[in-house]
Amino acid sequence: MAQDSSHPAAGTALITGASSGIGHEFALLFARSGYDLVLVARNRSVLDGLASQARDEFGVQAFVCPKDLSVQTAPEELFRELQQQGIAVDVLINDAGFAMQGPFVENELTTLLNMLQVNIVTLTHLTRLFLPPMIERGRGKVLNMASIGSYMPGPLMAAYFASKAYVLSFSEALSNEVEGTGVTITALCPGPTRTRFAARAKLTDTRAFRGTLMAAADVAQEGFEALMKGKTVVITGFKYRMQLLPTPLVPRRLLAHFARRYHETPSDQGVTAPSWATAPERSGSSHAAQP
Does residue 251 register a pLDDT over 60?
Answer: yes
Can you give the pLDDT at residue 60?
97
Q: How far apart are CA 10 and CA 36, in angstroms?
A: 8
Can you give the pLDDT at residue 261?
80
Can you give the pLDDT at residue 180?
97
DSSP output for 240-288: HHHHHTTGGGS-HHHHHHHHHHHT--TTGGGSPPPGGG-PPP-TT----
Backbone angles phi, psi at 15, to 5 degrees: -125, 115
* Other CB atoms within 10 A of residue 172 CB: 15
3-state SS, 82-121, equals HHHHCCCCCEEEECCCCCCCCCHHHCCHHHHHHHHHHHHH
- Please state the rounded mean pLDDT for residues 63-79: 97
Backbone angles phi, psi at 183, to 5 degrees: -110, 140
The residue among 120, 118, 167 whose CA lies nearest residue 147 is 167
Does residue 205 register a pLDDT over 50?
Answer: yes
Q: What percent of the chain has pLDDT over 70?
A: 83
Can you give the pLDDT at residue 63?
97
In this prediction, residue 5 has a pLDDT band, given cuts at 50, 70 and 90, of very low
Domains and CATH numbers, the chain: 11-277 (3.40.50.720)
For 132, the 3-state DSSP assignment is helix
CB 97 within 8 A of CB 17: yes
CB 217 within 8 A of CB 173: no
Can you give the pLDDT at residue 246?
87
Mean pLDDT of the chain: 87
Can you give the pLDDT at residue 227?
98
The residue among 7, 117, 124 whose CA lies nearest residue 60 is 7
pTM metric for this prediction: 0.85
Q: Can 160 be counted among the known catalytic residues?
A: yes
The residue among 100, 111, 98, 70 whose CA lies nearest residue 196 is 98
Can you give the pLDDT at residue 186?
98
Q: What angle do CA 88, 93, 123 make, to 5 degrees?
A: 100
- Please state the rounded mean pLDDT for residues 133-153: 97
Looking at per-residue confidence, does 24 or 207 come out higher?
Answer: 24
For 134, the 3-state DSSP assignment is helix
User: Among the listed ranges 3-12, 91-100, 115-124, 258-267, which one has the minimum average pLDDT value?
Assistant: 3-12
Task: Spot the catalytic one: 35, 67, 151, 160.
Answer: 160
Looking at per-residue confidence, does 17 or 279 come out higher?
Answer: 17
Can you give the pLDDT at residue 2?
40
Task: Spot the catalytic one: 67, 151, 164, 166.
Answer: 164
Q: How far apart are CA 25 and CA 249, in angstroms?
A: 35
Looking at per-residue confidence, does 261 or 100 come out higher?
Answer: 100
* Residues 6+ positions from 284 with CB-CB distance below 8 Å: none
